Chains A and B, each alone.
Chain A
Amino acid sequence: MMENLIYIALFAPFVSSMFSALFGMSPRQTFVGIVASSLLFIAFASSATLAYHVYTTGHGLHVTMMDWISAGDLHIPFGFVVDQVSVTMMTVVTLVSTIVHIYSIGYMDHDKSFNRFFSYLSAFVFSMMILVMSDNFAGLFIGWEGVGVCSWLLIGFWYHKADVSREENPSISPSWAANEAFIVNRIADLGMLVGLFILYWNTGSLQYDVVFETLPSLSGSVLNAAAIFLFIGAMGKSAQFPLHTWLTDAMEGPTPVSALIHAATMVTAGVFLVIRANPLFSMEEVAGVSYFIAALGTFVAFFAASMALVNRDLKRIIAFSTLSQLGYMFAAAGLGAYWIALFHLAAHAFFKALLFLGAGNVMHAMHDELDIFKMGGLKKVMRGTYIYMGLASLALAGIPFFAGFFSKDAIIETAWNEGTIVLWAILVITAGMTAFYSFRQVFLTFHGDERYHEFGIHPHEMYKFVLVAMSPLALLAMVAGFGMGNFEHFVTHLLPEYHMSEHTHHLATILGLVVLVFAVGGIVYAYKKYAGGLKRDEALEESFIYKLLANQYYIPQFYEAFITKPYAMLSEKFWKFDTSVVDAIVDGIANFIYRSGDGSRKMQTGNLSNYLNWMAVGGVLLLVVAALSAMLG
């Protein structure tokens, strides 16, 4: 019974994808979206049932569908494990994707590739399910690559748009952004692959349970190498510095894609990997790597938030905040609080998806305009969206009793508890920045003067069913935090427990208040500055820091100048080498055979006598060869 549910949860998105693909080339069919959404809902219902089952029984399920690779000592089955960690991911993924599917029926309403969109979207969910459910690293890697491909397909969904200069659009074009995302991930995937090879070499298996059991018998250097390379893989998928540039450019994709893939699910795969491999990362020997993860996470949290402060693009601001929140998750995971990282992952998925879908509504209303400087005062026409985005921003800012408050506070408290005061301070400051930029965006979009009039835009609210479909996310963004105690109890069956020390416990209220002061301060500052309308500050916008932040620290330009261009030049050189040496040799051989054939064609006179003469020549030659070899040999 439960086994069937596992297969339903896994394959319903696959069926949905195949079904939609049947209509991929035909014009828009609403029922394709409805069928896809229903199948996704079935997957969600199965996942939720499984979650309930695991919750009540307290132990996971493990099924093996079939053998996949069986060669020599290598034995990799198609096995799936539904335990506390994977079932959490399954539920979050299917819930958010069901809502995003329904949302897309409204959002992609006017798109001629409506059916194709659903096919890709469902294929993504299927890959993600494989990623989280697999019971071995090989299956995880297949899912990992699968989500990468779907992400590429979806970022480049509007592939027909032409390339423009970086000044006009920082991500140049959808196909450029898609390729960037894919290539950057490829670099990281190489690291991950090396990590998997190291594990396989030293443990003789890729099954999670076998690998984790063998870990204590391995040497420190092997463990460190495996941890480092696996984390490189995680860095690519979760867009950590220095592989972060692709995530903001990925905003070129349709907004539901940004909500599902580049905020709620796929980008958290890196965090998931670290959580899944917690027996490795929590070992004494790899403490250095874990500390590095925490430090990098903290750095990215701050770094991304700083870029969000001045950005004018609605979606990019949210993308930066995703980056920043992923940093928080890594900080928690690196400090050993795996369950807190997983909790923030789930809570973040809800409010971030809501935020993105809200942004999609705004985009839809503003005819694809994304510059928040051209909006303002939208709350009058878009009340529902305003409320949703406000709620999501409150959750993101960590205002008490919203989802983000509990999870982010726990992470910051962890940083204090571990005695890493520098990390703690940075995370607290970042919390303030988070509050500022999320409300800067809310106020600039929904409050103040109606700047859109001068651009001749007539905004309108999204379809009602879309707003209704978004309500579960809004609800979860508000109340998910109250499940924290239960959640801890649930996942610590599998994940290591993490307790705050007595000392931290006493200080918890004060620590929480400090964070709250920063968060509220950020909101108040944003309110003062932007709620009344947009007042451009020329001096500030011309300042060096502002320009630095607005240009993402010039990192994309740096990559282009120092990596992309030299690489292109090098490729050009190699191409020349290829044509002048490799091709020349191959062509030379072919030409020689052509010419010799052409020359010896004259032998074929049709005269038997000539042939006999040639035969005699051949015979004599053979005789000579035989004689020579007899003499020499």
Chain B
Amino acid sequence: MIGLTHYLIVSALIFSVGLVGVLRRRNLLMLFFATEVMLNAVNIAFAAISHYYNDLTGQMFAFFVIAIAASEVAVGLGILIVLYKKHGSLDLDDLANMRG
């Protein structure tokens, strides 16, 4: 039987994948993918817990997260395109021009 714990473990694993991506990747596009992965990990946890408590609020919240993530991607990708046009690269090491 697949219980809440299993869902949460999957969610945590996917989140870790996303986190490692955020920390290790140098390409901005890949960073985006990684954040999307993390968001979806959270969504899984929301849906699972919502089901567990018989409370729809969590699932509703997951929908909100999806909607916000979609709009965020739309804006984010726009910025990435502009950045790529300007610098010809999306590598973070090349983009570091604010050194303190």
Using a CB–CB distance below 8 Å, which chain A residues touch chain B? Answer: 601-609, 612-613, 616
Among B19, B23, B25, B92, contact of A607 (Cβ-Cβ < 8 Å): B92
Given contacts A613-B23, A616-B19, A616-B23, contact A608 B99 (CB under 8 A): no
A residues within 8 A CB of B93? 607, 609
B residues within 8 A CB of A612? 22-23, 31
Supply 28 A–B pairs (Cβ within 8 Å), ascending by A. A601-B100, A603-B100, A604-B98, A604-B99, A605-B96, A605-B99, A605-B100, A606-B97, A606-B98, A606-B99, A607-B92, A607-B93, A607-B96, A608-B28, A608-B31, A608-B92, A608-B95, A608-B96, A609-B25, A609-B26, A609-B92, A609-B93, A612-B22, A612-B23, A613-B23, A616-B19, A616-B22, A616-B23
Complex Cα distance A609/B25, Å?
8
Lowest 4 CB-CB distances: which A-B pairs, in order? A604-B100, A606-B98, A606-B99, A607-B96
B residues within 8 A CB of A602? 100
A residues within 8 A CB of B98? 604, 606
Query: Chain B: interface residue count, which band?
Result: 10 to 19
Distance in Å from the Cβ of B35 to the closest Cβ of chain A? 10
B residues within 8 A CB of A603? 100
By beta carbon, the residue of chain B nearest A600 is B100
Complex Cα distance A601/B98, Å?
12
Complex Cα distance A442/B19, Å?
104
Distance in Å from the Cβ of A13 to the closest Cβ of chain B? 64
By beta carbon, the residue of chain B nearest A604 is B100
Distance in Å from the Cβ of A160 to the closest Cβ of chain B? 55
Map CB proximity to A onto B57-70 as digits: 1 under 8 Å, 0 otherwise: 00000000000000
Contact assessment for A606 and B26 in the assembled complex, using a CB-CB cutoff below 8 Å: no
Complex Cα distance A604/B97, Å?
11
Complex Cα distance A603/B23, Å?
16
By beta carbon, the residue of chain B nearest A601 is B100
Complex Cα distance A297/B57, Å?
92
A residues within 8 A CB of B31? 608, 612
Distance in Å from the Cβ of A608 to the closest Cβ of chain B? 5
Contact assessment for A606 and B23 in the assembled complex, using a CB-CB cutoff below 8 Å: no
By beta carbon, the residue of chain A nearest B25 is A609
Q: A606-B96, A608-B92, A608-B95 are in contact. List 13 more A-B contacts (CB 8 A).
A: A601-B100, A603-B100, A606-B97, A606-B99, A606-B100, A607-B95, A607-B96, A609-B23, A609-B92, A612-B23, A613-B23, A616-B19, A616-B23
By beta carbon, the residue of chain A nearest B19 is A616
Residue from A603, A612, A613 with most neighbouring chain B CB atoms (10 Å): A612
Distance in Å from the Cβ of A603 to the closest Cβ of chain B? 8
Complex Cα distance A168/B23, Å?
84
A residues within 8 A CB of B22? 612, 616
By beta carbon, the residue of chain B nearest A609 is B92
By beta carbon, the residue of chain B nearest A617 is B23
Distance in Å from the Cβ of A626 to the closest Cβ of chain B? 16
Map CB proximity to A onto B61-100 as digits: 1 under 8 Å, 0 otherwise: 0000000000000000000000000000000110111111
By beta carbon, the residue of chain B nearest A603 is B100
B residues within 8 A CB of A608? 28, 31, 92, 95-96
Distance in Å from the Cβ of A100 to the closest Cβ of chain B? 70
Complex Cα distance A603/B100, Å?
8
Complex Cα distance A616/B92, Å?
17
Complex Cα distance A444/B24, Å?
105
Distance in Å from the Cβ of B87 to the closest Cβ of chain A? 13
Complex Cα distance A607/B94, Å?
9
B residues within 8 A CB of A604? 98-100
By beta carbon, the residue of chain A nearest B22 is A612
Complex Cα distance A311/B69, Å?
99
Residue from A605, A609, A612 with most neighbouring chain B CB atoms (10 Å): A609
Complex Cα distance A201/B59, Å?
70
Complex Cα distance A607/B25, Å?
12
Complex Cα distance A616/B31, Å?
14
B residues within 8 A CB of A616? 19, 22-23
A residues within 8 A CB of B97? 606
Distance in Å from the Cβ of A462 to the closest Cβ of chain B? 78
Complex Cα distance A601/B100, Å?
7
By beta carbon, the residue of chain A nearest B97 is A606
A residues within 8 A CB of B100? 601-606
A residues within 8 A CB of B26? 609
Complex Cα distance A602/B100, Å?
7
Distance in Å from the Cβ of B28 to the closest Cβ of chain A? 8
A residues within 8 A CB of B99? 604-606
Complex Cα distance A608/B28, Å?
9
Distance in Å from the Cβ of B81 to the closest Cβ of chain A? 17
Distance in Å from the Cβ of A597 to the closest Cβ of chain B? 11
Distance in Å from the Cβ of B82 to the closest Cβ of chain A? 16
By beta carbon, the residue of chain A nearest B99 is A606
By beta carbon, the residue of chain B nearest A620 is B19
By beta carbon, the residue of chain B nearest A619 is B19
By beta carbon, the residue of chain A nearest B28 is A608
Distance in Å from the Cβ of B92 to the closest Cβ of chain A? 5
Complex Cα distance A613/B25, Å?
11
Complex Cα distance A602/B99, Å?
9
Distance in Å from the Cβ of B47 to the closest Cβ of chain A? 23
By beta carbon, the residue of chain A nearest B100 is A604
B residues within 8 A CB of A607? 92-93, 95-96
By beta carbon, the residue of chain B nearest A605 is B99
Distance in Å from the Cβ of B65 to the closest Cβ of chain A? 18
By beta carbon, the residue of chain A nearest B34 is A612
Distance in Å from the Cβ of A339 to the closest Cβ of chain B? 83
Distance in Å from the Cβ of B29 to the closest Cβ of chain A? 13
Complex Cα distance A613/B31, Å?
12
Distance in Å from the Cβ of B25 to the closest Cβ of chain A? 8
Distance in Å from the Cβ of B96 to the closest Cβ of chain A? 4
By beta carbon, the residue of chain A nearest B93 is A607
B residues within 8 A CB of A606? 96-100
Map CB proximity to A onto B9-28 as digits: 1 under 8 Å, 0 otherwise: 00000000001001101101
Distance in Å from the Cβ of A324 to the closest Cβ of chain B? 78
A residues within 8 A CB of B96? 605-608
Distance in Å from the Cβ of A352 to the closest Cβ of chain B? 76
Distance in Å from the Cβ of A477 to the closest Cβ of chain B? 84
Complex Cα distance A41/B92, Å?
87
Complex Cα distance A612/B26, Å?
11
Complex Cα distance A616/B24, Å?
12
Distance in Å from the Cβ of A616 to the closest Cβ of chain B? 6
A residues within 8 A CB of B92? 607-609
Complex Cα distance A266/B10, Å?
92
